[in-house]
Amino acid sequence: MKVLVTGGAGYIGSVVTRVLIEDGHDVVVLDDLSTGHRDAVPAGVPFVHADIADAGDVLAREPFDGVLHFAAKSLVGESMNRPELYWATNVCGTRHLLDAMRRHSVPRLIFSSTAAVYGEGGPDGIGEDTPPRPTSPYGTSKLAVDLMISDECRAYPLGAVSLRYFNVAGAYGPCGERHRTETHLIPITLDVAAGRRPHLEIYGNDWPTPDGTCMRDYIHVLDLARAHVVALQHARPGHHAIYNLGNGRGFSVREVVAAVERVTGRRVPVTVAPRRPGDPAWLVADDSRARAELNWQPQADLDTIIADAWAFHQQRRHTDGLAGGGTTS
């Protein structure tokens, strides 16, 4: 298919772009580079440096079979302090995209949604039928987009799939996490293991979980990318499907730290800080619907996820000439 990948210079979007190409699709990437990196886009892939509101200009140039939409703001903490940015980019930006897709008769949309739409979960896992109760403007904005897409599919012949990610980590080839503002546990913990930070801050050790730290479900970015390629084939006109993507198992922050120490062979000093607003205690996927209907299942375990992320971390450290020494986390 001929597809447009919005946010394709970002972490997940760049990996999905590579997997799409490997699967034989024709890809164009659009990104404003506010958080993405131009060198993450594979060589030879047409790149458009533009805002999501300008996606219609790209769709007008030639026929497209689908859009994979990753362009968004995604920092929970920032969303608590500046919610207007999340409504402007995530909701209004997607509204512009949907209007452009309708004008130019683009029939398929794969949307990068999030488990943050659910809010608090529990040890039994969160299914797609769990009532959404987002605890942050980030989660609220993504839920609003999911609802908007459902309305669009009911009114027009759009076929859409929303993929609600749990915690994504790992790397694929030259693509991995290198956010300008890093908030994700695994890359921060790897920074500590590498000596770039003096310690890891755990936000709260009194959560209602087995060891008092938050429980999260981790999925390898390559497993996630493969689900997008499959979902593209399953988009049906007039239908909006929603699938959770995770491993179906939760790991506490302390378990992740132990895994990083095991994989890297290095010690990770830890301090405890107050809880962060907007953080749920449990976020673990029930991804049985995706496994059954998409014939998809994740392959990588936690140690593989961390090992691939560590290899990318070390490669970037060598390439960028990064020196040791920590900064306060």
Please give the average per-residue pLDDT across 47-72, as a whole number.
96
Residue 158 and residue 193 share a domain? no
Judge whether 180 lies within some domain. Answer: no
Judge whether 328 lies within some domain. Answer: no
State yes or no: pLDDT of 321 exceeds 50: no
> Residue 316: what pLDDT?
74
Judge whether 98 lies within some domain. Answer: yes
pLDDT in tens, 199-224: 999 999 999 999 999 999 999 999 99
Residue 304 and residue 273 share a domain? yes
Q: CATH number, domain at 272?
A: 3.90.25.10
Residue 264 and residue 160 share a domain? no
Residue 163 and residue 15 share a domain? yes
Judge whether 226 lies within some domain. Answer: yes
Token pair listed for 71: 């362009």
What contacts 130, CB < 8 A, 6 or more positions away?
Answer: 118, 121
Average pLDDT, the chain: 92
The CB-side HSE value for 136 (13 A sphere, CA atoms) comes to: 24
Residue 225 and residue 87 share a domain? yes
State yes or no: pLDDT of 151 exceeds 90: yes
For residues 302 and 259, the answer to whether their CB atoms sit within 8 Å is yes
Q: Output b/e per residue, 203-238; b: 16+ Cβ within 10 A.
A: bbbebebeebbbbbbbbbbbbbbbbbbbbbebbeee
> Residue 162: what pLDDT?
98
> Residue 122: what pLDDT?
79
Q: What share of the chain is helix, strand, coil (3-state, %, to 5)?
A: 40, 20, 40
Q: CATH number, domain at 54?
A: 3.40.50.720
Judge whether 12 lies within some domain. Answer: yes
Residue 12 and residue 101 share a domain? yes
pLDDT in tens, 94-119: 999 999 999 999 999 999 999 999 98
pLDDT in tens, 246-268: 998 899 999 999 999 999 999 99
Residue 224 and residue 316 share a domain? no
State yes or no: pLDDT of 159 exceeds 60: yes
Judge whether 175 lies within some domain. Answer: no
Range of the structural domain that residue 161 is part of: 2-170+219-245
Residue 269 and residue 208 share a domain? yes
Residue 74 and residue 54 share a domain? yes
> Residue 169: what pLDDT?
95
State yes or no: pLDDT of 327 exceeds 50: no
The tally of domains found in the chain comes to 2
pLDDT in tens, 164-211: 999 999 999 899 988 777 788 999 999 999 999 999 999 999 999 999
For residues 4 and 64, the answer to whether their CB atoms sit within 8 Å is yes
With cut-offs at 50, 70 and 90, classify the pLDDT of residue 319: low
> Residue 248: what pLDDT?
87
Residue 193 and residue 48 share a domain? no
Residue 237 and residue 145 share a domain? yes
Judge whether 294 lies within some domain. Answer: no
Judge whether 117 lies within some domain. Answer: yes
> Residue 303: what pLDDT?
96
**Which residues does the annotation mark as catalytic?**
138
Please give the average per-residue pLDDT across 59-76, as a whole number.
95
Residue 102 and residue 86 share a domain? yes
